[in-house]
A = this chain, B = another copy of it.
Amino acid sequence: MVVELRVVLHPSPRETLHLVEEALRNGETILLVGLCGVEYEGRSSATLPPGERVVFLKSDGTLLVHQRVGNNPICWNPPGSRAKIRQEDELLLLESERLKPRENVKITFLQVVFAGSFELVDHAELELRGTERELVETLIQHPNLVEPGFRVVKREKPTRYGVIDLYGMDGEGNTVVVEVKRLASFQAVQQLRRYVDLLKQREPGEVRGVLVATRFTRGVKALLEDCGFEYRVLNPRKINKGEKGVQSRLTDY
């Protein structure tokens, strides 16, 4: 397997123009390195004075401008945006337009020192473990983790004020609202409270609220108790084991 590629060092504006235009036509991935200034106008607006950066243009319209440091692009436009390039005197103007919401990124290259286009083949997808989705699935497979006698009635139950992660009944027939979080903070308690308050108006009998999480920020457990809610701590390490269908002992979690 070989990536098709074209690379130019210290290209003239004209050369860069041609490389980018052809790459855009062919749906290739474009990398540019050079001295450029950036203007952004959209949901917010921003100006970035000239500096040497890496500009990354993908075939799905994604535009990323990366500085020398930092995790995140300093400017960007998301997939679906449309890029155009044109030359004005010795300057090269790369403009990316997003329609909804309307957002515009304009890059002015004073100098390009590297231009490359690449035809990437990649059909693989990331397999991610340890997400909240997995926590919920674990609880469905092992409802006893919520409590002995707990029965799941519905997963992702939509309400006027948001979606309840798990909703079911305890051994006594009381409604139980379960909110699942990887990291439980005050916000999670508020979320739970919102759902419990709502169901109290609609369901007869008691409505209990349970927050299940792998981690709790300080004070959250106390707040839960103050609100009359309960909590369960899950051990994330053990979850994959449970997922694999190997019936493990509950004390493992």
Interface positions of A (Cβ within 8 A of B): 1-3, 5, 7, 9, 29, 31, 33-35, 37, 43-54, 56, 58-60, 62, 64, 66-71, 74-76, 78-79, 111, 113-114, 116, 118, 120-131, 160-162, 186-187, 190-191, 194, 219
Contact = CB atoms under 8 A, between A and B. Distances in A.
Contacts of A46: 126-129
A27 to B, nearest CB: 9
27 contacts: A1-B111, A3-B35, A7-B114, A31-B54, A45-B128, A45-B130, A46-B127, A48-B127, A50-B124, A51-B122, A51-B124, A52-B120, A53-B122, A54-B120, A56-B56, A60-B68, A62-B69, A62-B71, A67-B120, A67-B122, A68-B120, A69-B79, A114-B118, A162-B186, A186-B194, A190-B191, A190-B194
A35 to B, nearest CB: 6
B47 A126 contact: yes
A135 B161 CA distance: 27
Number of copies: 2
A28 to B, nearest CB: 9
Nearest to A76: B71
Given A58-B70, A186-B162, A75 B126 contact: yes
Contacts of A125: 48
Given A54-B56, A118-B54, A120-B52, A9 B5 contact: yes
A11 to B, nearest CB: 12
A150 to B, nearest CB: 26
B54 A29 contact: yes
A160 B219 CA distance: 10
A5 B33 contact: yes
Contacts of A116: 33, 114, 116
A37 B125 CA distance: 11
A69 B9 CA distance: 25
A47 B124 CA distance: 10
Contacts of A54: 29, 31, 56, 118, 120
Contact of A124 (B33, B48, B114, B219): B48
B190 A52 contact: no
